[in-house]
């Protein structure tokens, strides 16, 4: 059981790190390549105020 828990913990950590990197990359793409205002709306103190 401990080995299974270790494996789940290890691969789960990598999966979360991958998803965070993917999310940051997508946000940067919106901010610097597409320039469609999505990144600005995500930043605190900016955007539509909703």
The HSE-up count of residue 15 (CA atoms within 13 Å, CB side) is 6
Cα–Cα–Cα angle for 14, 20, 22, rounded to 5 degrees? 100
The token duo for 31 is 């901010």
Residues 23-32: tens digit of each pLDDT: 999 999 999 9
Please state, in angstroms and rounded to a whole number, the distance separating the CA atoms of residues 12 and 39. Answer: 27
Q: What is the pLDDT of residue 48?
A: 62
In this predicted structure, what is the pLDDT of residue 45?
Answer: 85
Task: Convert the pLDDT of each residue in 1-50 to its tens digit.
Answer: 999 999 999 999 999 999 999 999 999 999 999 999 999 998 888 766 55
Query: In angstroms, rounded to a whole number, what is the distance separating the alpha carbons of residues 22 and 14?
Result: 12
């Amino acid at each position: 059981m401990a080995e299974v828990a270790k494996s789940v913990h290890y691969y789960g950590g990598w999966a979360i790190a991958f998803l965070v990197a993917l999310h940051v990359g997508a946000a940067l793409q919106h901010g610097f390549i597409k320039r469609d205002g999505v990144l600005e709306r995500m930043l605190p103190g900016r955007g539509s105020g909703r």
